């Protein structure tokens, strides 16, 4: 049976440590008060996905408001973040954002969400994944959907060096899986400064996603992702020629084959099956202890909703699952005080309600 469009699922509502369940339920209920009403011309999931990407929007942030910062995330890796600080930053809530595959800190949803968050009074960090935005020179190893260690290092530095006391983490697609995986890995040891997470269109079961991506209906999108991955691989080979053997690159004509030949071995996994298992966040979802909002459409063309129906969520997690939305599309047709980017607005509303202690 199809779920109601406005239903928000609060899974296994038992006790939890950071917020009372009653208060958290109230916040989740407030977030669902603005259901997703899709743009009437883009109800088809592939069109919705494309419309969300190409719809014109404000993408201008003055340079004088932006600070570039390098984070050392492990012994050999660094990532570049673009930071937007409010006055008296230590006492201000901070939003850290992680982009998806083929994205960067300059991708439209990263900038668009940052503009709205800045207006709400948040500090904002737009983080490039390893190699994102042409930063291959900063890290000899590439990003992948299970790379939660970089986000962990960034959160740790913001707490210890910047002395920030209120951090919110927002992940998109690949970055959403990383964010959920990080929260599950933290478990009972979650830093008290990390207040909440929102994951938009997260690929929580990578094996299932790869199979779905290879369906004929998704041929165009798989080909585009492969184009981006092959281009990134060539750039890594240019900077680190002895580390990357591209002689087999011609064989990687499907996403699974690319992950088997390059993604898994380049990131220390013994096989593509081990990579799919260990990099997926679904095995850790029930260990999340902080307020978490997952936003995923039931018609996502790449990430089957079945994986969310089978997932074991924690008591502090809510799943907001409209019938329509595509993959990170969520372009709404009715606009009052908001822009058309419904999922971004629900994420910011969720964080703002928590920040206000509603």
pLDDT in tens, the chain (358 residues): 344 444 455 544 443 444 478 889 999 999 999 999 999 999 999 999 999 999 988 878 877 789 999 999 999 999 999 999 999 999 999 999 999 998 999 999 999 999 999 999 999 999 999 999 999 999 999 999 999 999 999 999 999 999 999 999 999 999 999 999 999 999 999 999 999 999 999 999 999 999 999 999 999 999 999 999 999 999 999 999 988 988 888 888 999 999 999 999 999 999 999 999 999 999 999 999 999 999 999 999 999 999 999 999 999 999 999 999 999 999 999 787 899 999 999 999 999 999 988 6
Q: d(Cα 198, Cα 224) in Å, to the nearest integer?
A: 26
Compute how many other C-beta atoms are within 10 angstroms of the C-beta atom of residue 131.
23
Residues of the chain within CATH 3.40.50.1820 domain(s) are 8-205+280-356
* Residue 35 near residue 5 (C-beta atoms within 8 A): yes
Strand ranges (DSSP E) for the chain?
A: 8-10, 67-72, 78-84, 94-98, 123-127, 167-172, 194-200, 292-295, 317-320
- Residue 293: closest CA among 192, 196, 181, 203: 196
Look at residue 254 and give its three-state secondary structure.
coil
pLDDT at position 358: 62
DSSP string, 272-302: HHHHHHHH-SGGGGGG--S-EEEE--TT-SS
* End-to-end CA gap in the chain: 34
Record: fold of 8-205+280-356: Rossmann fold (3.40.50)
pLDDT at position 8: 55
Look at residue 97 and give its three-state secondary structure.
strand
Cα 240 vs. chain centroid, distance in angstroms?
A: 28
Q: 343: Cβ–Cβ under 8 A, 6 or more apart, which residues?
A: 36, 200, 201, 295, 325, 328, 330
The angle subtended at Cα 77 by Cα 72 and Cα 81, nearest 5°, is 55
């Amino acid at each position: 049976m199809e779920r109601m469009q406005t239903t928000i699922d609060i899974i296994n509502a038992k006790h939890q440590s950071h917020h009372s369940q009653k208060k958290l339920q109230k916040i989740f209920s407030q977030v669902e008060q603005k259901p997703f009403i899709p743009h009437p011309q883009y109800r088809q999931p592939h069109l919705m996905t494309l419309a969300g990407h190409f719809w014109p929007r404000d993408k201008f942030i003055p340079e004088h408001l932006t600070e570039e910062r390098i984070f050392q995330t492990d012994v050999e890796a660094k990532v570049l973040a673009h930071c937007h600080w409010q006055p008296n930053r230590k006492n201000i809530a901070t939003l850290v954002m992680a982009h998806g595959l083929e994205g960067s800190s300059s991708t439209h949803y990263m900038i668009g969400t940052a503009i709205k968050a800045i207006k709400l009074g948040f500090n904002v960090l737009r983080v490039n994944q390893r190699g994102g935005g042409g930063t291959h020179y900063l890290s000899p190893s590439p990003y992948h959907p299970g790379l939660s260690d970089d986000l962990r290092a960034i959160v740790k530095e913001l707490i210890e060096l910047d002395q920030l006391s209120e951090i919110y983490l927002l992940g998109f697609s690949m970055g959403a899986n990383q964010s959920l995986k990080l929260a599950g890995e933290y478990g009972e040891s979650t830093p008290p400064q990390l207040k909440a997470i929102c994951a938009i269109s997260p690929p929580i079961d990578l094996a299932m996603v790869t199979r779905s991506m290879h369906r004929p209906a998704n041929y165009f999108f798989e080909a585009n992702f492969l184009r981006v991955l092959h281009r990134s691989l060539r750039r890594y080979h240019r900077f680190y020629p002895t580390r990357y053997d591209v002689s087999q690159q011609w064989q990687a004509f499907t996403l699974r084959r690319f992950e088997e030949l390059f993604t898994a071995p380049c990131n220390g996994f013994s096989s593509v099956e081990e990579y799919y298992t260990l990099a997926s966040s679904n095995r850790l979802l029930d260990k999340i202890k902080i307020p978490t909002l997952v936003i995923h459409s039931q018609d996502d063309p790449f990430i089957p909703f079945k994986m969310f129906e089978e997932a074991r969520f924690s008591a502090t997690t809510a799943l907001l699952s409209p019938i329509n939305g595509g993959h990170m599309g969520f372009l709404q047709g009715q606009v009052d005080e908001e822009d058309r980017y419904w999922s971004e607005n629900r994420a910011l509303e969720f964080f703002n309600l928590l920040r206000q202690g509603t």
